[in-house]
Amino acid sequence: MSEESVYSSEENKINSYVKEGDLAQLVGMRHAFHLVHIQAGQTVHTHRGIIKHDDLIAKPWGSQIFSHMGSPFFILKPSIADIIRTTKRNTQIMYPKDIGFILITMGIGPGSRVIEAGSGSGGLTQALAFIVGDSGHVYSYEKRDEMQKLAQENLINLGLEKRVTFILQDIENGFGETEVDSIFLDIPNPYDYLPHVRSSLKSGGFFGTILPTTNQVIKTLVELRRNSFAFTDVCELMLRYYKSEADRLRPTDRMVAHTGYLIFSRKIHHEEEQIREFEELKE
Amino acid sequence: MSEESVYSSEENKINSYVKEGDLAQLVGMRHAFHLVHIQAGQTVHTHRGIIKHDDLIAKPWGSQIFSHMGSPFFILKPSIADIIRTTKRNTQIMYPKDIGFILITMGIGPGSRVIEAGSGSGGLTQALAFIVGDSGHVYSYEKRDEMQKLAQENLINLGLEKRVTFILQDIENGFGETEVDSIFLDIPNPYDYLPHVRSSLKSGGFFGTILPTTNQVIKTLVELRRNSFAFTDVCELMLRYYKSEADRLRPTDRMVAHTGYLIFSRKIHHEEEQIREFEELKE
Amino acid sequence: MSEESVYSSEENKINSYVKEGDLAQLVGMRHAFHLVHIQAGQTVHTHRGIIKHDDLIAKPWGSQIFSHMGSPFFILKPSIADIIRTTKRNTQIMYPKDIGFILITMGIGPGSRVIEAGSGSGGLTQALAFIVGDSGHVYSYEKRDEMQKLAQENLINLGLEKRVTFILQDIENGFGETEVDSIFLDIPNPYDYLPHVRSSLKSGGFFGTILPTTNQVIKTLVELRRNSFAFTDVCELMLRYYKSEADRLRPTDRMVAHTGYLIFSRKIHHEEEQIREFEELKE
Amino acid sequence: MSEESVYSSEENKINSYVKEGDLAQLVGMRHAFHLVHIQAGQTVHTHRGIIKHDDLIAKPWGSQIFSHMGSPFFILKPSIADIIRTTKRNTQIMYPKDIGFILITMGIGPGSRVIEAGSGSGGLTQALAFIVGDSGHVYSYEKRDEMQKLAQENLINLGLEKRVTFILQDIENGFGETEVDSIFLDIPNPYDYLPHVRSSLKSGGFFGTILPTTNQVIKTLVELRRNSFAFTDVCELMLRYYKSEADRLRPTDRMVAHTGYLIFSRKIHHEEEQIREFEELKE
């Protein structure tokens, strides 16, 4: 999954086949997912039978294969969203709909230097590591030892561990980095750490957080104002899937109603009073 | 905006100040946006007065400055979402909420090779060019000369034109590239071009499209099935903003109700019949 | 539940206590519902123990009582929405959110004469019977014998059977009534019966239907135009519940994503061509 | 619009024609609405020309007529939702989607005795008066003289003024009625009046309110608990309209994002402590 130069036509062909070391997903009936690292001699055990890695190697990506019980599977290269959805987790993990919007809104891409806390199971960490490329870097804070280990394991699995520095530390003493492009806090009380965010974020940089309750949003808005952040947006994204049948196109019966309120804000090089004036003028 | 190696602390400091050649946004009252390329000697004309670029150079990002009429502005580094929102356009432009979800769902990131058609005003093109980094590439098809020129201009403005090959051509004869990672069609009739998509997409690769009407979705679902695509998802994203006031937290009065239905699907290395069987089994 | 004259203060007091013949709901832990007809000597069997009707009679509405196992329950007068939610059913039943909007949009209230088909389990029939009062009437068509029986049983349970005429008949031969105020079709193919709807509906009257798929909506729109209906609205209602906790106010995790598309239209006293012209003019 | 006994076939025929005293809506191009009381000799002035009432009388409902400028209009009997949408107003008026859900959830129908405050422009008052029939009654409190007058005027216009008692009074001293079936407060601070609500509501009765901000919802939840209300639901309804074109079925571009959070709760005949226990048990 690491960043490669634009492939020659020959290389592209080679990349069209499953080979050792690849990260693959096996998709069976009812869209059951299995994320596997291809290694000669290994096997995958599914509810619908056993599949040998040797039977996968050299198959074109997108091929159909069968378990020893005759159950059909397709072998596909997982997208970063697929990986996040199937990542090993101990905690609630962020949803791709929110992660995609966070990345694009905060302008996180190749070359970005980003702090996140907490690492949790490493769902967002994986997306950040993927998107910052070899030229960017992610600093991921977590205070619980076992959570950090899981996040690290998930990054190693993805082959992107070099792009992430994991720091086992409570953020109450702040972050070791300065002048980073953006900071994302996925913790219940981001409002307690905004002075630290301010110290480590470059002027004009992006702060983001996701919070389940309106009470937390209200507290965060108060503290953002107090800490000279401005251009604050609060929003939520609702994702509705449809049954993908041409003759009966309709939404699914049920959906996720709420993952969290997203807050985005920017560090402003200015005193609180002037920002307040500005915000009031604009209304 | 090009990809840089992880900065030394010194370099980070330098990047904290506005300098010639930077792409900047001036944000005035009521969140009025101005996207400007900083050049010594130049001026910006706003509804609330004139600002000299010379007065911006060497200011810390996030600073407040004033027009000749005394109207306050902040100078900020635009995120890719900010850029897309303010891009010069002749056509309906895709929304950041949709673009973020497209990128993450289709696994587009540093190193990806992507085809898009049509270029339109280059909104999605900018996001793709930003995210594929120096090691990826975007092939952007457009049949209308004046649209292509606008898209190119927008990419040059962003400094990312090297990452994009613009092709002035109707896609009815297919695409010149093969084995690309993903293809996104932002055209009214994607269902007419799926054999071409199939020819240029690597096996297992991602196809995506966005369509305003259910009629178009229905037609596309029929053709995806006929052309051996599988794992098709249809969905829509609703983005709701809140008034970001701590003592009156509530959604805004009105919102965008619909930008389009998103369809994602994967090229499967298999005959139609077997896929049909598989899809039926899974229900 | 029948319509009564405005109560004297004395009568109001009497109505504040549970008495024989009342329809009551017992609400236990986790909001488990039991709809019961109060009759001396009877018992209710719940998962959390037995309750004697005799222990309920003469209790103030809203009282807490306990099962023989000591499990707490409240006794409440059910609203029409409560009744619909707990109604005995063989079929998908319409949701209160949709029913409330249907009634108010189609102007159904005391005195209205309404046709519905099919009766189904009688969910909508109950709401219609409740709202048309003693001075209105509901004509409910159903072709399946066992469904009709269930709907009738549900109306008797509610004490509103006199307001409804049940007709066991396929509607392919039309309706026996004429000049009704409104007709609601809760069937999969309303588009096949619009000439019949037209024959029985008063000029200017309201037609309504609810359909799960976009394909059905499309077909219905075509036929409405062909049959001289106009002022057609298509809409959907999304209901999102919140966890009602003051210190953690947030939406529930999941919600119903789709019950159906609602279509409302009016019978116009006019030839098709003139309506088409009119509709085109208005754009 | 008053409640009539079920019509004979003859009477129905008569009711199919516009006659003096009727409340009618003229619907012109772009769905422009005019609500008119039919009176011989009168005229309606629209942006698209003048229409004489005499030209409307004896026309079948649903007929097309033309203004003196040749602009087409349809004459329709307005539904209660149509009336609310076009009601003369000084204030934000409640939306039919919310009113329909309030009526059905709170079980308001023929025979109900209901208190509302404040009357505002009388939007909800009209719906309540319509639905309670001749056998129910509405007590509508308002402290601003000019608002009350407008609400009264709107009720007279509808011919339903006998079903409503208007009380010009601040509710800080409570309501004069007792044992009412339900109380709806459409005021910014319902949390200040819950003891009064409790005094006037019958045991087990329904309380409802609509509030724009989460802060108000939070305060109300605290006070409901303190005042022995239970079975509290908080929810919001989102209504999405579609363009009703068979060959381009799609949602409208924009929609109302928020009208208010609805809260429903029931007066419980019980001490606060026991309710708290109960609510905690149920989780």
Question: Residue C38: which CATH number?
Answer: 3.10.330.20
Output A282 or D163, whichever has higher pLDDT: D163
Alpha helices (H) along D4-133: 9-15, 80-86, 96-105, 123-132
DSSP letter for C10, please: H
Check whether A282 has a pLDDT greater than 60.
no
Can you give the pLDDT at residue B279? 61
Please report whether residue C2 resides in a domain.
no
Cβ-based contacts of C214 with chain B (< 8 Å): 214, 217-218
CB-closest option in D131, D238, D266 to C76:
D266
Residue C137 sits at φ, ψ, to 5 deg, of -155, 150
For the record, the structure tokens of D159 come out as: 């011919």
Q: Where are the alpha helices (DSSP H) in chain B?
A: 9-14, 80-86, 96-105, 123-132, 145-158, 194-200, 214-226, 272-281
Q: Percent of chain A scored above 90 by pLDDT?
A: 80
User: pLDDT (tens digit, 9 = 90+) per residue, A134-148?
Assistant: 999 999 999 999 999
Question: Which residues touch D153 (CB under 8 Å, ≥6 apart)?
Answer: D88, D122
**Neighbour subunits, C (≥3 Cβ pairs < 8 A):** A, B, D
Q: Are D123 and D147 in contact (CB under 8 A)?
A: no
Question: pLDDT tier at D87 (50, 70, 90 boundaries)?
Answer: confident
Q: Is C8 near chain A, with CB under 8 Å?
A: no
What confidence tens digit (pLDDT) does each residue in D45-58 have?
988 999 999 999 99
Distance CA D110, CA C4 (A): 8
Question: Which residues of chain D does C111 touch, with a Cβ-Cβ cutoff of 8 Å?
Answer: 2-5, 133
CB C43 within 8 A of CB C67: no
In a domain, B3, yes or no: no
Residue A104 CB contacts under 8 Å (≥ 6 apart), including other chains: B79, B80, B81, B96, B99, B100, B103, B127
**In the prediction, which pLDDT does C32 show?**
72
Other Cβ atoms closer than 10 A to C126: 25
Rounded to the nearest angstrom, the minimum Cα separation between C122 and chain A is 22
Specify if B4 maps to a domain. no
Single-letter amino acid, residue C31: H
pLDDT of residue D40: 95
Question: Is B101 in CB contact (< 8 Å) with chain A?
Answer: yes
List the one residue out of B158, B122, B127 whose CA is nearest residue B140.
B122
B215 interfaces chain D, CB cutoff of 8 Å: yes
Give first-to-last CA distance, chain B, whole Å: 47
> Does one domain contain both B14 and B118?
no
pLDDT at A273 over 60: no
* Residues whose CB is less than 8 angstroms from the CB of residue A14 and which lie 6 or more positions away in sequence, other chains included: none
Looking at chain A, which residue has its C-alpha nearest residue B29?
A282
| Burial of residue C50, with CB atoms counted within 10 A of its CB: 0-12 exposed, 13-18 middle, 19 or more buried | exposed
DSSP D119: -
Considering the domain architecture, whether residues B226 and B93 belong to the same structural domain is answered as: yes
Same domain, A28 and A89: no
Least trusted range by pLDDT, from A273-277, C160-164, D93-97: A273-277
From chain A residues 216-255, the ones with a CB under 8 A of any chain D CB are: 217-218
Is the preceding peptide bond at C49 cis, omega within 30 degrees of 0? no
Question: How close B253 gets to chain A, by Cα (Å)?
Answer: 13
Q: Is the pLDDT of residue C94 over 70?
A: yes
Range of the domain at B41: 9-78
Q: In this complex, which of A12, A62, A204 lies closest to B269 when CB atoms are compared?
A: A62
Taking phi over 0 as left and psi of -120 to 50 as alpha, with beta for the rest, D8 belongs to beta
Over its C-alpha atoms, chain C yields an Rg (Å, rounded) of 22
Is the same domain home to A196 and A244?
A: yes
Residue D10: its pLDDT value, please?
60
Q: Tell me, yes or no, whether A123 lies in a domain.
A: yes
DSSP D120: T
Average of per-residue pLDDT across C244-256: 97
**Closest alpha carbon to C186 in C211, C164, C167:** C211
Q: Does A215 touch chain C (CB under 8 A)?
A: yes
Residues of B in contact with D215 (CB under 8 A): 247-249
Shortest alpha-carbon distance between residue B169 and chain A (Å): 22
Among the candidates B78, B109, B134, a domain finishes at B78
| Section C103-109 average pLDDT | 97
Chain A residues within 8 A of B30 when measuring between CB atoms: 282
Indicate whether C153 and C70 sit together in one domain.
Answer: no
pLDDT at D243 over 90: yes
In this structure, is residue B136 part of a structural domain? Answer: yes
Per-residue pLDDT, averaged over B221-228, amounts to: 95
Contact D236 C240 (CB under 8 A): yes
Q: What is the pLDDT of residue D163?
A: 98
Residues A74 and A112 in one domain: no
Most B CBs within 10 A among A194, A242, A280, hence the mutation to make, goes to A242
SS3 category, C257: coil
| D111 interaction partners in chain C (CB closer than 8 Å) | 2-5, 133
Q: What single letter denotes the amino acid at residue C47? A: H
D252 and D131 in a single domain? The answer is yes
Task: List CB contacts (< 8 A) between A214 and chain D.
Answer: 214, 217-218
Query: What CATH number is given to the structural domain containing D201?
Result: 3.40.50.150
**Chain C contacts of A251, Cβ < 8 Å?**
257-258
Integer Cα distance of D195 and D207 in angstroms? 12
Give the pLDDT band of residue D149 (cuts 50, 70, 90): very high
Two tokens at A168?
């086992």
Closest residue, chain D, to C29 (C-alpha)? D282
Q: How many CB pairs under 8 A join A and C?
A: 54
Please check whether residues B32 and B133 belong to one and the same domain: no
Looking up tokens 């539940």, which residue turns up? Answer: C1
Q: Is residue A3 part of a domain?
A: no
The pTM (predicted TM-score) of the whole model is 0.93
CB atoms B256 and D258 under 8 Å: no
Domain match, C65 and C150 both = no
The pairing of beta strand A72-76 with beta strand D113-117: unpaired
Sign of the CA dihedral running C119, C121, C122, C124: negative
Residues A99 and A197 in one domain: yes
Which residues lie across from C264 on neighbouring strands? C208, C233
Asked if B133 and A270 come within 8 Å (Cβ–Cβ), the reply is no
Region of residue B193 (left: phi > 0; alpha: psi -120 to 50; beta: else): alpha
Burial class (CB in 10 A: 0-12, 13-18, 19+), C206: buried
> Which of helix, strand or coil describes residue D198?
helix
Nearest chain C CA: its distance from A257 CA (Å) = 4
Flag whether B14 is in a domain: yes
**Which residue in chain A has the smallest CA separation from D249?**
A249
Q: Pick the last residue of a domain from A78, A107, A133.
A: A78
Interface mutation target, options A22, A27, A38, A79, chain B, most CBs of B under 10 Å: A79
Give the tens place of pLDDT for each residue, A40-63. Answer: 999 999 889 999 999 999 999 999
Rank A12-26, D78-92, D203-217 by mean pLDDT and report only the highest. Answer: D203-217
The whole-number pLDDT of residue D283 equals 46
pLDDT at C11: 62
Q: What angle do CA B197, B232, B235 make, to 5 degrees?
A: 110
Q: How far apart are the C-alpha atoms of C97 and C127, rounded to whole Å?
A: 12
Scan for tokens 């050049």, then name that residue.
Answer: B39
Which residues of chain C are within 8 Å of residue A214 when distances are taken between CB atoms?
249-250
pLDDT value at position D271? 56
From the list A53, A70, A81, A65, the residue with the least C-alpha distance to A27 is A65
Mean pLDDT of chain B: 90
On whether the CB atoms of residues A122 and A155 are closer than 8 A, the answer is yes
Per the CB < 8 A criterion, the answer to whether D91 and D60 are in contact is no
Residues A93 and A196 in one domain: yes
Domain count for chain B: 2
Are the C-beta atoms of residues A117 and A151 closer than 8 Å to each other?
Answer: no
| Closest by Cβ to B254, choosing from D212, D215, D255 | D255
Predicted-complex ipTM score: 0.92
What are the distances in angstroms from CA A267 to CA A207, A215, B65, B71, D270? 7, 23, 15, 20, 52
Q: Is the pLDDT at C212 greater than 70, yes or no?
A: yes
Residue D214 contacts A, CB cutoff 8 Å: yes
Contact C215 B215 (CB under 8 A): no
Residue B276, SS3? helix
Which chains have 3 or more CB–CB distances shorter than 8 Å to chain A? B, C, D
Determine the pLDDT at residue B269: 84
CB contact under 8 A, B214 and D250: yes
Average pLDDT over residues B152-177: 96
The predicted pLDDT at position B98 comes to: 98
Higher pLDDT, A62 or C281: A62
In a domain, B168, yes or no: yes
Contact A215/D215, CB-based, under 8 Å?
Answer: no
- The mean per-residue pLDDT over the stretch B90-94 comes to 84
Q: CA C175 to CA C184: how far, in whole Å?
A: 12
The residue of D250, D256, D261, D262 whose CB has the most chain B CBs within 10 angstroms, and thus the best one to mutate to test that interface, is D250
User: Going by DSSP bridges, is the β-strand pair D43-46/D49-52 parallel, antiparallel, or unpaired?
Assistant: antiparallel
**Which amino acid would we find at residue A182?**
S
Q: Which of D63, D78, D93 lies at the terminal end of a domain, its last residue? A: D78
Task: Determine contact: B122 vs chain A, CB below 8 A.
Answer: no
Q: Which A residues in the span 32-91 are in contact with B, Cβ-Cβ below 8 Å?
A: 60-64, 72, 74-82
How far does B19 lie from chain D, in Å, by closest CA?
A: 40
Positive or negative: CA dihedral A36, A38, A39, A44: positive
Q: What is the mean pLDDT of residues A191-197?
A: 98
Smallest Cα distance from D56 to chain B, Å: 38
CB-based contact (8 Å) between B215 and chain C? yes
Q: Which residue from D176, D186, D172, D274 is spatially nearest to D230, judged by alpha carbons?
A: D274
Residue of C nearest to A247 (CA): C215
pLDDT digits (tens, 9 = 90+) for C18-42: 999 999 999 987 777 888 999 999 9
Strand partners, A140: A116, A166
Average pLDDT in chain D? 90
Contact: D254, B251; criterion CB under 8 Å: no
Residue B281 has pLDDT above 60, yes or no: no
Are both A18 and A102 inside the same structural domain?
no
